[in-house]
Structure 1
Amino acid sequence: MKYFAVLLPMKEADKSRDFRPQHLAFLEKMRNSGHVAANGKFADGSGGLVIYKAPSFEACEALVITDPYIVEGARRYEIFEWEAVWAEEAP
């Protein structure tokens, strides 16, 4: 399984606010199903970062494009394959 860092830069602040509950529910579902290792928003309000686990770029993108933030046009996305190095106590 590969890791992908997915940046979600702000596109429309109003839509981001309106669809935040659906986005957070989506991320919880993705974490619980093992597709997301971590997620969080940037403190400056410019967007967020999601670390996906997927077998390929295409498989990751197939998940990303179902995020309500993307579906509703609230955020853009950028996907980077990430060769993670974990501390011993991290997943």
Structure 2
Amino acid sequence: MYVTRPEDIRYVILLSVVPGQKMTEELIRAHVQHLKQLDLEGKLELCGPFSDYRGGMVIIKASSYEEAKKIAESDPYIVSGVETYELRTWELSCEANNHMGMG
């Protein structure tokens, strides 16, 4: 039986723009600083806006769902109320874990 390894977990923060909220340059720069700090801490995997949806995605490494939630809720976009988020736990399927024991 396959047991998920902690190193095979990522957290996906799905960001959605709140209709009617104003996105300012200052807020965008604060969001980018937040992402840069996560990158410096080794927590940022991937991030970027969607081209077909008003919002974006941030994929992070965290030690727990609770830590991932704190990271999401400290994003200036969320703090300001300009965006909302959904948090998903993502199990990686890769060669290192024999594709979740099925490879």
- Name the TM-score, length of structure 2 as normaliser: 0.75
- Specify the code of the residue in structure 2 equivalent to 1:11: V
Q: Which has the larger radius of gyration?
A: 2
1:3-82 matches, within 5 Å, as 3-12=10-19, 14-18=21-25, 19-82=27-90
**Alignment partners' CA distance in 1, 2:70 and 2:14:** 15
- Specify the code of the residue in structure 1 equivalent to 2:60: Y
Give unmatched runs, 5+ long, in structure 1: none
RMSD: 2.0
Matched residues, percent identical? 31
- Specify the code of the residue in structure 1 equivalent to 2:86: E
Question: Deviation at 1:31?
Answer: 1.1
Runs in 1 of length 4+ with deviation above 6 angstroms? none
Question: Deviation at 1:17?
Answer: 3.5
Corresponding position of 2:99: none
